[in-house]
Amino acid sequence: MLFSDVVATSEQVRATRSRKEKTAALAALLSAAGPAGIGTVVAWLSGELTQGRIGVGWRTVTGLGAAASDRNRLTVEQVDDYFTRLKGVSSTKSRREILTELFTAATEEEQSFLIRLLTGELRQGALTAQVVEGLARSTGIGVDVIRRAHMLSGNLPATAVAAITGGEDALREFRLEVGRPVAPMLASPGGSLDEALAELGPQVSVEHKLDGARIQAHRAGEQVWVFTRTLRDITAGVPELVELVRGLDCTSVVLDGETLALTDAGRPRPFQETMSRFATIGDTRELLLHPYFFDCLHLDGEDLLDEPLRVRRRALDRVAGPHAIPTLVAPDAEAAAECYDDALAVGNEGVMVKSLEAPYAAGRRGKAWQKVKPAHTLDLLVIGAEWGYGRRTGFLSNLHLAALDQDTGEPVMVGKTFKGLTDELLRWQTEEFPRHATHRDAQTVYLRPNLVVEIALDGVQTSTRYPGGVALRFARVLRYRPDKEPAQADTIETVRALGGR
């Protein structure tokens, strides 16, 4: 298959907002890719490389200055071979020579695609969810079957290869594998506690929402693994968590939860202090992490993903009860309100309200889990920053904030804020943001949407000022979220919902 076929389909998907047309275009391309190329094509359309990270950054590819080819001659296999060669070299000179060779063989359209692919900028709406739908249409296999196989394999290219070579039977062979992380189930922002209880009904659990870092702990015999929200293996950097999980009364287990550092008084330390433990693998420091688990996905050979939460909760209490997050099961409204007040009193963010009947929907955000906090919060993308004035002269200050368009994968601007920025954050932004810059003018540095920031706000109002049709009210910075990928930012639909649209 020609590389230009992938590029053309990517552009076709990028140019339309119609989900139906996107799916049709992707299905046609995946059908033509065949068993030999489908894994690579699926990876690229999802914005990834089959080789993982290859050490090529924005400055390298944008500074090549290679003349473009006047004809389409590169194949998918040839481009993938170039990426493999790049991963195998450490010399800056050798890397530039390989990249120059590749870019010289590429047309102008292919060069543009390569830049976006290599720098994580491939945001054309053909991200994971859309590729899954295209794969379902091209193979005739149910989208739920493909989605589940992907969730369990953790590898969409491998899922695509199985679908095209073995069909539905091959996909149903995928099982939860202890030691291989599962995409975490995500929560939606809820309204008030009363609203969440009214929507989900009486059969819910109400648990403290901790201001910690999401972890997933796996154990098989004496072997233990600990993964982050983004499925990064941090086992080597958290020996105290490894020791605790190894000491549980079981032979195999997969637990979902949070970890955080505590003060001497037992209250949660700031989120940034907890995250500092993940910065350098192998550095245990003096800041001990404490795990608080809220779900059990596997126990002693039995997978529990499809079981309702009430069953998973019993398994959790049996294997890790002393380390479970404080939870009430099927409380009345008065008890739930007391739990909410208690959570705030001990320094937690609020509560999670979860349906006891819901299975574990890995990798998906739904209404079965709702987070209730005193103030609305959103995880948004930083797409620009303005130079400050007065006391902030010389610092990048006023942030341009965007939510994700779930259909296109593009950031949609919804507001600005400079509130909540400490002197430390101002210094960090001014040093860090130029590394993510795409261009700038006299007042603003415009950024690739790589950084996720948590914003508190009083609400959302209709506005024609920003492309999303809404504007944030009294937005203020709470913290940056290095534990979250850009694709995990909140969508424009979520933002609009806060305004009742």
Q: How many CB atoms lie within 10 A of CB 420?
A: 16
Question: Strands 186-189 and 365-372, how do they pair?
Answer: parallel
Please indicate if the annotation marks 207 as binding a ligand: yes
Please answer whether residues 129 and 365 qualify as being in contact, where contact means their C-beta atoms are separated by less than 8 angstroms: no
Please answer whether residues 339 and 351 qualify as being in contact, where contact means their C-beta atoms are separated by less than 8 angstroms: yes
- Label each residue of 206-252 as H, E or C: EEEECCCEEEEEEEECCEEEEEECCCCECHHHCHHHHHHHHCCCCCE
Please indicate if the annotation marks 258 as binding a ligand: yes
Residue 97 to residues 94, 103, 131, 265: CA-CA distances in angstroms?
A: 5, 10, 33, 57
Give just the sign of the alpha carbon dihedral 70, 76, 81, 82. Answer: positive
Quick one: which of 205, 201, 257, 190 has its CA closest to 226? 257
Please indicate if the annotation marks 371 as binding a ligand: yes
Q: Running DSSP on this structure, what letter comes out for residue 468?
A: T
Query: Is 209 a residue of the active site?
Result: yes
Quick one: which of 411, 410, 415 has its CA closest to 471? 415
Full DSSP string of 341-371: HHHHHTT--EEEEEETT----TT-EEEEEEE
End-to-end CA distance of the chain: 44
Residues 72/76/79/84 CA torsion (nearest 10 deg): -170
Please answer whether residues 483 and 214 qualify as being in contact, where contact means their C-beta atoms are separated by less than 8 angstroms: yes
Please indicate if the annotation marks 294 as binding a ligand: yes
Give the Cα separation of 46 and 23 in Å (integer): 13
Q: Running DSSP on this structure, what letter comes out for residue 68?
A: P
Give the Cα separation of 265 and 261 in Å (integer): 11
What tokens does 73 get? 């001659």
SS3 call for 168: helix
Please provide the size of the chain in residues: 501
Please indicate if the annotation marks 277 as binding a ligand: no
- Alpha carbon of residue 434 to chain centroid: 23
Per the DSSP assignment, residues forming a β-bridge with 217 are 226, 255
List 209, 373, 416, 484, catalytic entry: 209
Question: Strands 365-372 and 476-480, how do they pair?
Answer: unpaired
Element (H, E) at 197: helix 193-200
Summarize the annotated binding site as residue ranges.
207, 214, 229, 258, 294, 365, 371
**Active site residues per annotation:** 209
The annotated binding site for ATP is made up of 207, 214, 229, 258, 294, 365, 371
